[in-house]
């Protein structure tokens, strides 16, 4: 295997290194950073490769050493194809979670919705950034390598198409989450408006009654009903007034 520059080796050892493709005098470096295990616990993993005349090597971070894939690009294609297929399945599982969240929101309007929404939104937003970078780097790698005599162009174009499809699915799920959030916000605002509307009606009915109670509660002479059954008469008057006012409000609501 060719001797690597120390800085390039550190790049391959970095588990958080972004997707990149670089060409040097004796070798080329390809790093693809992809999400994995999205259906369980979301992780981001960087896969680093060295391409040289001596062969194609994959840097295994767990072993801390290079593994020879092959002298051509077929093993590299199969390696990446397996990872991207797994990513596509994971994106489909996340989409199913979004659909399930959508159905639960339509069936029953509950507060735990936002907890699930934030978790899925964070997962999809991070995956979208990572996959978008990987798509650009894989495209650059294909453009730089397709002039090689034995480069499997169709296979790597297929990989690139799969990765782009995964990105589109990720974006679609993200947009669907945004639509669900707007729907949730509208439902929340509608419930709040209804509550405020009911409180307003109650205030309209009882505010005049409070004025009547305050009027008859004054410690002055000459008040109505002083020489009769005043409390009973005032109570009956308030009931009649409240019923009349309530009927007037209901008639106004029905008319609108």
Q: What pLDDT band is residue 29 in, cutting at 50, 70 and 90? A: very high
The number of residues making up the chain comes to 256
Q: CB–CB of 27/78 below 8 Å?
A: no
Least confident of 1-10, 135-144, 174-183, 246-255: 246-255
**Cβ contacts of 190 within 8 Å, gap of 6 or more:** none
Q: CB–CB of 126/42 below 8 Å?
A: yes
pLDDT of 30 higher than 90: yes
pLDDT at site 122? 81
Secondary-structure breakdown of the chain: helix, strand, coil percentages, each rounded to the nearest 5 = 65, 15, 20
pLDDT of 212 higher than 60: yes
Torsion of CA 65, 69, 71, 75, to 10 degrees: -160
pLDDT of 62 higher than 60: yes
Between 222 and 180, residue with greater pLDDT: 180
Distances (CA, A) of 191 to 188, 198, 215, 216: 5, 11, 36, 38
Taking residues 196-202, report their average pLDDT.
77
Average pLDDT across the chain, whole number: 81
pLDDT of 227 higher than 90: no
pLDDT at site 160? 92
CA–CA separation, 55 vs 74, rounded Å? 11
Find how far residue 21's CA is from the centre of its chain.
30
**Cβ contacts of 211 within 8 Å, gap of 6 or more:** none
Q: CB–CB of 48/17 below 8 Å?
A: yes
The neighbouring-strand residues paired with 34 are 45
CA–CA separation, 54 vs 68, rounded Å? 10
Between 125 and 102, residue with greater pLDDT: 125
Least confident of 122-126, 184-188, 227-231: 227-231
pLDDT of 180 higher than 80: yes
Tokens representing 239?
Answer: 């009931």
CATH topology of domain 6-191: Methane Monooxygenase Hydroxylase; Chain G, domain 1 (1.20.58)
Least confident of 7-11, 159-163, 252-256: 252-256
Q: What pLDDT band is residue 229 in, cutting at 50, 70 and 90? A: low
pLDDT of 167 higher than 80: yes
- Give the helix/strand (H/E) hosting 220: none
Q: What pLDDT band is residue 44 in, cutting at 50, 70 and 90? A: confident
pLDDT at site 53? 85
Taking residues 125-135, report their average pLDDT.
87
Burial letters for 173-188: b for 16+ Cβ neighbours within 10 Å, e otherwise? Answer: bbebbeebbeeeeeee
């Amino acid at each position: 295997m060719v001797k690597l520059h120390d800085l390039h080796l550190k790049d391959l050892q970095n588990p958080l290194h972004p997707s990149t493709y670089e060409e040097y005098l004796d070798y080329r470096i390809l790093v693809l950073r992809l999400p994995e295990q999205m259906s369980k616990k979301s992780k981001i993993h960087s896969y680093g490769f060295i391409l040289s005349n001596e062969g194609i090597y994959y840097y295994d971070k767990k072993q801390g050493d290079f593994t020879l894939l092959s002298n051509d690009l077929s093993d590299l294609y199969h390696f990446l194809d397996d990872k991207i297929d797994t990513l596509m399945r994971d994106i489909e599982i996340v989409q199913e979670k979004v659909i399930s969240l959508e159905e639960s929101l339509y069936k029953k309007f509950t507060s735990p919705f936002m907890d699930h929404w934030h978790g899925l939104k964070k997962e999809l937003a991070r995956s979208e950034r990572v996959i978008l970078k990987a798509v650009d780097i894989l495209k650059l790698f294909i453009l730089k390598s397709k002039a090689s005599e034995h480069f499997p162009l169709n296979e790597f174009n297929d990989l690139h198409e799969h990765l782009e499809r995964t990105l589109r699915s990720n974006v679609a799920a993200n947009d669907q989450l945004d639509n669900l959030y707007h729907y949730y916000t509208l439902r929340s605002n509608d419930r709040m408006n209804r509550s405020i509307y009911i409180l307003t009606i109650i205030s309209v009915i009882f505010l005049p009654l409070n004025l009547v109670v305050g009027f008859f509660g004054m410690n002055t002479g000459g008040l109505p009903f002083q020489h009769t059954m005043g409390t009973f008469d005032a109570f009956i008057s308030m009931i009649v007034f409240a019923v009349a006012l309530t009927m007037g409000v209901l008639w106004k609501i029905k008319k609108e």
